[in-house]
A and B are shown apart, each in its own frame.
Chain A
Amino acid sequence: EAQVTQNPRYLITVTGKKLTVTCSQNMNHEYMSWYRQDPGLGLRQIYYSMNVEVTDKGDVPEGYKVSRKEKRNFPLILESPSPNQTSLYFCASSHDQGYYYGYTFGSGTRLTVV
């Protein structure tokens, strides 16, 4: 089944404790992206990647890092999480940069930083 897999689904952590949210897609998509969703603000792009070793900042990159060493994986790293990073996170991938077919999203990671 074609899908984007994120882990974990739920995570509660403490301020400052480094964490990684994994994302993997099995559709051989070149384009991958991370979004966060907050009430009233919609989905906002954190980082995106157009191919292996090619990443760029989205609208809200502060406090996040990403890497794209393999085509299928695009982990999101929070080096020192803070409470304002409490949010619902989605990873997404696309064959054509979303131009015709949009993006396929993972099931989401609900992160709480206390």
Chain B
Amino acid sequence: RKEVEQDPGPFNVPEGATVAFNCTYSNSASQSFFWYRQDCRKEPKLLMSVYSSGNEDGRFTAQLNRASQYISLLIRDSKLSDSATYLCVVLGYGNKLVFGAGTILRVKS
């Protein structure tokens, strides 16, 4: 079993739609959680950290469920510019970042 698992997608949605991505992690001792965004052939960039109480940044909402070892990212009012691969990232054993393989989002007009 992979340490961090994501649905690879692709998720094809129209502009303005709400879309949600899920991610599960296997190490119950993990302390920090993140969502990164990666555009095609470019470097990953931190989108947002994920806090236990859930957090929101504009159109983006992240949730963490420690009991189920599950992280989610909700994007409201999708824009064409949201098209990218979204990486679920967990700070694991030895303070090492462990990346999911990513979920592809395509927003279409």
Contacts and interface: CB of A to CB of B under 8 A. Distances in A.
Given A42-B87, A102-B89, A97 B95 contact: yes
A102 B96 contact: no
Interface residues of B, number: 23
Given A42-B87, A108-B41, A101 B99 contact: no
B31 interface: yes
B74 interface: no
Interface in A26-69: 33, 35, 40-45, 48, 58
B91 A105 contact: no
B57 interface: no
A97 B93 CA distance: 12
Q: Interface residue tally of chain A, by bracket?
A: 20 to 34
B36 A106 contact: no
Contacts of A102: 34, 36, 46, 49, 89, 97
Given A42-B102, A106-B43, A108-B43, 9 more contacts: A40-B101, A42-B87, A42-B99, A97-B95, A102-B36, A102-B89, A107-B43, A108-B42, A110-B41
Interface of B: 4, 8, 31-32, 34, 36, 41-46, 49, 87, 89, 91, 95-97, 99-102
